[in-house]
Structure 1
Amino acid sequence: MKKSITNYFPQAALAVMFLFSSEFVEAAEVKVAVAANFYKPVLAIADQYQQETGHQVSVSAGSTGKLYAQIKNGAPFEVFLAADQKRPSLLVEQGLAKASSQFTYAKGTLVLWSSKPELVDAKGEILNSEIKHLAICNPKTAPYGAAAVSALQHLGIYQQLQSKFVEGQSVGQTYQQISSGAVDLGFVALSQVLVDSKLSRGSMWLVPSKLYAPIKQDAVLLNKGDSNPAAQEFIDYLRENQITALIKGFGYEVE
């Protein structure tokens, strides 16, 4: 009997080592809900994360308000990258997310943008001219829409322009309306119009930050991701220096 144990123990040990070797651990999947303004950056982040870890990242984008409603209704997301602090905090209060995981991953910037060169001046004076339509995302569900409304109110021109609004359900939809030429100009996130930290095309006005509340965007680990180590790892990955540098390159500030 002793001989039998001696002969088979090394083989059993090798089998266990093989099973738990990181090289052979099955890749996991992380389900991420992301605010539309951060869609391009999160795809770049997900690509790097997948290359480094082997884990897959499934991304669903939309307005922060709509994603919040989906999460409340049981959507299978594990990580939430919002465009505000309010919704992640509410999810924590409602017992649907982990309080210790919540942090601000980016601070956004609002711009008035047109796909047409020279249409939007550097001071935004075009807002005082006779414009036909102005694209804006739903201020009730999209923080960038709320920021745009605040800016127009501070400028004292909200009432005169309100009837000209073409409202998108998310800042992603608003960007598409302007990019396609369906609407000449509108308010979007700076990150959406930059390529390699430069304006990709068209013209824009960088809306002064004093005209709207800071767009602090929080990340949080949802309860459905608590049992998935890859989800926690993805949240932590957002804090790494190489990733914060990438986020800054898309036109965001990082605290």
Structure 2
Amino acid sequence: MNIQRVFLLFSVILAGCSKPSDKIVVATAANVQYVMKEIQKEFARETGEEIQIVVGSSGKLTAQIREGAPFDVFVSADTKYPQEIYKNGGSEEEPRIYATGSLVLWAKDIPETELSTAILATEKVKKIAVPNPRNAPYGEAAIEVLKAQVLFEKTEKKLVYGESIAQTAQYISTGSVEAGFNALSIVLSPEMKDKGHYIIIDSTFHKPIQQAAILLKHSDASPKKESSTKFYHFLYSDKAKQIFKKYGYK
């Protein structure tokens, strides 16, 4: 689903309410969205409490938090954005790393036996999808890989930037581009599994994609403070860890 439409719908819902949602609102980086759906079900089963998920790129979600979006927990695709929020007083607790992600090169029609970063510089690939590195940590990692392998100048004009990893996945899975970079968690998701072929990129070619979450500040009188804290701690539970592992996170 188009991420901008999701947020617009969320904004309209909030505008039509006389009071903020009673549900815990979790701002979720796009690469974690499928994991979060499973965690959402497990958390509800264990506690009886529901969460509402808002999906977007880490950079755009951070901008919305700066502008006062009514989020309770932020699950980012990196450590930089949560750390920025903490330093600016948006949380009473430092962010904690919940997982390390894996970058993949993914193509709809290129066989796995032929798929490699080297093929990106050939005539077989005319367009390469990359999450926007200004907003998405996986996009930043992809550019690091291309530069490390001396492929950036050869492929720069082929790059098509998606506003989030979800939009980039749409470009790849529909064949709008010949190949692209994405998160392992996306290609392992039920919605994307078996749609094309992928290879995992050697992580020595980019900085580790360490992903952190942060509990956003509430007033002591906030009725959601206790529930939000409970969910935040649930992210680091053994049950949640098993779900993260299922989607290829380390």
Count of aligned pairs: 225
Find the aligned partners of 1:195 and 1:56 in 2 and give their Cα distance. Answer: 22
Q: Who is 2:104 aligned against?
A: 111
Find the aligned partners of 1:247 and 1:149 in 2 and give their Cα distance. Answer: 25
Of 58, 71, 80, the match for 2:74: 80
Of 118, 130, 147, the match for 1:125: 118
Q: Does 1:175 align with 2:169?
A: yes
Higher mean C-alpha displacement, 221-230 vs 73-82: 221-230
For 1:239, what is the secondary structure of its paired residue? coil
Find the aligned partners of 1:51 and 1:233 in 2 and give their Cα distance. Answer: 14
| Unaligned ranges ≥5, structure 1 | 1-27
Matches within 5 A, 1:43-82: 43-82=37-76
Q: Verify the 8 A CA contact 1:121 1:205 in the aligned structure 2.
A: no
For 1:213, what is the secondary structure of its paired residue? coil
Q: Verify the 8 A CA contact 1:121 1:203 in the aligned structure 2.
A: no
Matches within 5 A, 1:175-214: 175-195=169-189, 200-214=194-208
Q: Does 1:236 align with 2:236?
A: no
Find the aligned partners of 2:183 and 2:140 in 1 and give their Cα distance. Answer: 12
Find the aligned partners of 1:176 and 1:99 in 2 and give their Cα distance. Answer: 35
* Amino acid across the alignment from 2:138: Y
Find the aligned partners of 2:133 and 2:113 in 1 and give their Cα distance. Answer: 22
Q: Does 1:248 align with 2:241?
A: no
For 2:26, what is the secondary structure of its paired residue? strand
Find the aligned partners of 2:189 and 2:59 in 1 and give their Cα distance. Answer: 27
Alpha-carbon offset, residue 206 of structure 1: 1.1
Alpha-carbon offset, residue 123 of structure 1: 4.0
TM value normalised by structure 1: 0.83
Q: Which has the larger radius of gyration?
A: 1
| Per-residue Cα deviation, 1:21-60 (whole angstroms, up to 9, x for no partner) | xxxxxxx511000100000000110111112212111001
* Amino acid across the alignment from 2:85: L
CA RMSD of aligned residues (A): 2.0
Tell me the percent identity: 37
